[in-house]
Amino acid sequence: METIDDVGEFGLIARVQARLPLTSPETLVPSGDDAAVLAAPDGRLAISTDVLLEGRHFRRDWSGPRDVGHKAAAQNFSDIAAMGGVPTSLLLAMVLPGDLPVAWVEEFAEGVAAECAPLGAIVAGGDMVRGDLITISVTVLGTLEGRAPVLRSGARPGDTVAVAGRLGWSAAGLELLLSGQDPHGDVGDGAAQAAGGGTGAGSGTEALPQPADYLAAHRRPSPPYAAGPQAARAGATAMLDVSDGLLADLKHLAVASGVAVDVDSTLLVTTPGPRLDQILTGGEDHALVATFAAEVPEGWRPIGTVYEGAAAVTVDGKPWEGPGGFSHFGHSA
Amino acid sequence: METIDDVGEFGLIARVQARLPLTSPETLVPSGDDAAVLAAPDGRLAISTDVLLEGRHFRRDWSGPRDVGHKAAAQNFSDIAAMGGVPTSLLLAMVLPGDLPVAWVEEFAEGVAAECAPLGAIVAGGDMVRGDLITISVTVLGTLEGRAPVLRSGARPGDTVAVAGRLGWSAAGLELLLSGQDPHGDVGDGAAQAAGGGTGAGSGTEALPQPADYLAAHRRPSPPYAAGPQAARAGATAMLDVSDGLLADLKHLAVASGVAVDVDSTLLVTTPGPRLDQILTGGEDHALVATFAAEVPEGWRPIGTVYEGAAAVTVDGKPWEGPGGFSHFGHSA
């Protein structure tokens, strides 16, 4: 099988670039010069960065390269949506083993491209160097389209807490993988799509999820990108993306806003669907959680209320003492 | 010694952030929310990304953490200068071993901060995850201040080729390190500064370099940041930063512009100074090379001429057949 060492760095760049979207009307100078030049039509840009490390954030025996490409783009795009913005471009800085098949990198690029396509986002730059372990650093840019960013710090007592997108699906999928089920990624775009749309306001819990859907959700998160700008337009007071788990991320919101948050378990659990502990503590679905002083917009599901008090998160009025707890903090921004 | 495993991810973030510049007048939302929001006053941004991998781009026994911080920022800032822009911010995505001393990361951050300071640049985001080998992905942003970007593709027959900054110094320093001399980085800001200013238009070859200066130059490149916008204002037709070596990077320019380039060795060599082969093929000094149809601005040194012809680079009218040749292509953009 042809490897990276076989084709060399410049050969690899050409093969990857052929599979990526490289230009858009906002791309004034595409990747390939010392720097790209991008338009920022409203005079601002939203930007964030994340690392995916083989063995820690994905396993090659559990996820195919297309899955990893989808996930690398999706978890970063979600950070832009959580500000109320629209992702426009990303940059990929990668460490790749010399004996990695070129096909792996090509299919990874195809996964990135597929996640970019519905958003019209492009890849504005990259770097690839040889090393022992696959390491993928993604920097994502987005536009706020003239709106004020929705921060974590604006929640006020009396606000309704609402969620868009899926909770607990990725955790349910991980549990299946850990129990030895279906260790095959890239099972086809059909299977991944069946698990829920990626761009609409999430209403995943209305579906009737099957094990294959949880597995697909673990491999390829489907963040509800459009729900971010929608929440911003509807006057969301605070918003963030659920990457560490609902309770952990609501804690970030509670600390930043100086408020207490209580969630109602009866509004979270659906049958069939993930267990309550998966919903509360499972990360990586990249749902959006936001607070609203006024009416919750369509596609968003109320799940709780903001109260005056010390920065704390409770479930049905009590601290959560079930599985997961607050120990699983893995993500940094 | 206190390690990353001792302080944990959130502890480490706090220690690093305390040492970094995090806000500027253009920082609308600093790092810490889902994404940062930055102003792009002229409605555009220049952006580029690079990976530094331990063992490949730096050695911990040859470079101290402050050296690595300076270098990580400098080699990226240089890409913005090479478009005619001014660096404004960077994002740091890092893989760090759990047994790495916290002090290493703190001093790395201090090196980044010191390289940012004269430019007023800030750190707008980051991510840190545990892994086996230090991997530092830097994404840099800059502003073109309303000017058109200077691309690699605009050189025309008759243009003068000119350089700003140092050539061959880093290669001379590497040669000293390979021969076993002075394997100690972070030798003090005094020594690093003695090797040449970092922000003015480079005139390094007028100094009288000592071995310590070459070593410092290898550890901490001093790109002539101000020379980039200066060249843009002076009507440079093409420009790029010398990261792979003068001949290799001029070849990129020749290919992109569809021209031939000849350099005059008598304009390159100074005594004392690096050898001609170090000047022609040594990378990592991050000098700027540009072409000018009109007068070469102050601080820029003419070194050759653009001719009509197939994309090729010659030295005194002949292909370079000395040490280095064209085989050492290591960098990608």
Mark whether A186 and A300 lie in a shared domain. yes
Q: Residues B38, B42, B43, B44: what is their CA dihedral angle, to the nearest 10 degrees?
A: -80
Dump pLDDT digits (tens) for B109-122.
999 999 999 999 99
User: Which of B33, B44, B240 shows the shortest C-beta gap to A34?
Assistant: B240
Question: Is A130 in Cβ contact with B56 (below 8 Å)?
Answer: yes
Q: Is A85 on the interface with B (CB under 8 A)?
A: yes
- DSSP structure string for A116-166: HGGGT-EEEEEEEEE-SS-EEEEEEEEE-TTSPP--SS---TTPEEEEES-
pLDDT of residue B247: 97
- State the average pLDDT over residues A27-50: 97
Q: Is A282 within the bounds of a domain?
A: yes
Dump pLDDT digits (tens) for A206-239.
557 888 999 999 999 999 999 999 999 999 999 9
- State the average pLDDT over residues B173-182: 88
Least confident of A49-53, A184-188, B325-329: B325-329
Q: Which residues of B touch A34 (CB under 8 A)?
A: 48, 78-80, 82-83, 152, 239-241, 333
Q: Is B149 on the interface with A (CB under 8 A)?
A: yes
User: Which of A32, A43, A49 shows the shortest C-beta gap to B93?
Assistant: A49
Structure token pair of residue B129: 């995850």
Question: Is B46 in Cβ contact with A43 (below 8 Å)?
Answer: no
Residue B203 C-alpha, separation from nearest chain A C-alpha, in angstroms: 22
Please tell me the pTM assigned to this model.
0.91
Residue B126 C-alpha, separation from nearest chain A C-alpha, in angstroms: 6
Chain A 18-57, residues with CB within 8 Å of chain B CB atoms: 28-29, 31-41, 43-51, 53, 56-57
pLDDT of residue B272: 83
pLDDT of residue A188: 56
Q: Is B332 within the bounds of a domain?
A: no
Mark whether A201 and A307 lie in a shared domain. yes
Q: Which of A143, A171, A190 is the last residue of a domain?
A: A143
Question: Is B126 in Cβ contact with A79 (below 8 Å)?
Answer: no
Query: Is the bond leading into A272 cis (omega within 30 degrees of zero)?
Result: yes
Q: Does residue B193 surpass a pLDDT of 90?
A: no
Mark whether B121 and B186 lie in a shared domain. no
Q: Does residue B209 surpass a pLDDT of 90?
A: no
Q: Is B333 within the bounds of a domain?
A: no
Average pLDDT, chain A: 90
Q: Is A240 on the interface with B (CB under 8 A)?
A: yes
CA B317 to the chain's CA centroid: 29
Question: Is A49 in Cβ contact with B126 (below 8 Å)?
Answer: yes
Mark whether A128 and A191 lie in a shared domain. no
Q: Is B204 within the bounds of a domain?
A: yes
| Among the listed residues A265, A292, A258, A261, the one whose alpha carbon sits nearest the alpha carbon of residue A279 | A265
Distance CA(B34)–CA(A274), nearest Å, equals: 26
Q: Is B183 within the bounds of a domain?
A: yes
Percent of chain B topping pLDDT 90: 83
Mark whether A204 and A308 lie in a shared domain. yes
Q: Does residue B291 surpass a pLDDT of 70?
A: yes
Residue B192 C-alpha, separation from nearest chain A C-alpha, in angstroms: 26
Q: For the domain that residue A11 is a member of, what is the CATH number?
A: 3.30.1330.10
User: How long is chain B?
Assistant: 333
**A333 near A249, Cβ under 8 Å?**
no
User: Which of B29, B126, B127 shows the shortest C-beta gap to A151?
Assistant: B29
Question: Is A36 in Cβ contact with B47 (below 8 Å)?
Answer: yes
Question: Is A9 in Cβ contact with B49 (below 8 Å)?
Answer: no
Q: Residue B125 is part of which domain span?
A: 4-143
Mark whether B214 and B265 lie in a shared domain. yes
Q: What is the side-by-side order of every strand in the sheet holding B238-242?
A: B238-242, B287-292, B160-164, B301-307, B260-263, B312-315
CA of A153: which chain B residue's CA is closest? B33
Question: Is A36 in Cβ contact with B39 (below 8 Å)?
Answer: no
Q: Is B236 on the interface with A (CB under 8 A)?
A: no
Q: Is B85 on the interface with A (CB under 8 A)?
A: yes
Q: Is A249 on the interface with B (CB under 8 A)?
A: no
pLDDT of residue B331: 36
In angstroms, what CA-CA distances link A84 with A130, A238, B156, B165? Answer: 36, 10, 46, 43
- State the average pLDDT over residues B13-35: 96
Backbone φ and ψ of B238, nearest 5°:
-155, 155
Residue A87 C-alpha, separation from nearest chain B C-alpha, in angstroms: 11
Q: H or E element: which one contains B314?
A: strand B312-315
| Among the listed residues B191, B198, B15, B32, the one whose alpha carbon sits nearest the alpha carbon of residue B109 | B15
pLDDT of residue B285: 95
In angstroms, what CA-CA distances link A128 with A16, A131, B2? Answer: 10, 10, 32
Q: Which residues of B touch A43 (CB under 8 A)?
A: 39-41, 43
- State the average pLDDT over residues B64-82: 97
At residue A189 the predicted structure's pLDDT band, cuts being 50, 70 and 90, is low
Q: Which residues of A touch B77 (CB under 8 A)?
A: none
Q: Which one-letter amino acid corresponds to residue B166?
A: R
Q: Is B151 on the interface with A (CB under 8 A)?
A: yes
**Burial class of B162 by CB neighbour count within 10 A (0 to 12, 13 to 18, 19+):** buried
Residue B188 C-alpha, separation from nearest chain A C-alpha, in angstroms: 30
Chain A 105-144, residues with CB within 8 Å of chain B CB atoms: 124-133, 135, 137-142, 144
Q: Is A180 within the bounds of a domain?
A: yes
The CA angle B57-B59-B62, to the nearest 5 degrees, is: 125
Mark whether B88 and B186 lie in a shared domain. no
Q: Is A148 on the interface with B (CB under 8 A)?
A: no
Question: What ipTM was assigned to the predicted interfaces of this complex?
Answer: 0.91
Distance CA(A14)–CA(A208), nearest Å, equals: 42
Mark whether B180 and B285 lie in a shared domain. yes
pLDDT of residue B191: 44
Least confident of A200-209, B66-75, B133-142: A200-209
Q: Does residue A192 surpass a pLDDT of 60?
A: no
How many independent structural domains does chain B possess? 2
Question: Is A40 in Cβ contact with B47 (below 8 Å)?
Answer: no
Mark whether B79 and B137 lie in a shared domain. yes
pLDDT of residue B295: 94
Q: Does residue A184 surpass a pLDDT of 90?
A: no
- State the average pLDDT over residues B209-235: 95
- State the average pLDDT over residues B207-229: 91
Question: Is B329 in Cβ contact with A9 (below 8 Å)?
Answer: yes
Q: Which residues of A touch B31 (CB under 8 A)?
A: 333
User: Which of A32, A95, A241 shows the shortest C-beta gap to B333?
Assistant: A32
Question: Is B141 in Cβ contact with A47 (below 8 Å)?
Answer: yes
**Burial class of A146 by CB neighbour count within 10 A (0 to 12, 13 to 18, 19+):** exposed
Mark whether B105 and B180 lie in a shared domain. no
Q: Is A324 within the bounds of a domain?
A: no
Mark whether B84 and B177 lie in a shared domain. no
Question: Is A92 in Cβ contact with B129 (below 8 Å)?
Answer: no
Q: Does residue B179 surpass a pLDDT of 50?
A: yes
Q: Which of B110, B143, B176 is the last residue of a domain?
A: B143
In angstroms, what CA-CA distances link A70 with A73, A115, A194, A201? Answer: 5, 5, 15, 18
Mark whether A192 and A272 lie in a shared domain. yes
Question: Is A38 in Cβ contact with B44 (below 8 Å)?
Answer: yes
Q: Does residue A92 surpass a pLDDT of 70?
A: yes
Q: Is A165 within the bounds of a domain?
A: yes
- DSSP structure string for B230-266: HHHHTT-SEEEEESS-HHHHHHHHHHHHT-EEEE-HH
SS (H, E, C) A96-112: ECCCCEHHHHHHHHHHH
Q: For the domain that residue A165 is a member of, what is the CATH number?
A: 3.90.650.10
Query: Is the bond leading into B323 cis (omega within 30 degrees of zero)?
Result: no
**B204 near B305, Cβ under 8 Å?**
no
Q: Which residues of A touch B130 (CB under 8 A)?
A: 56
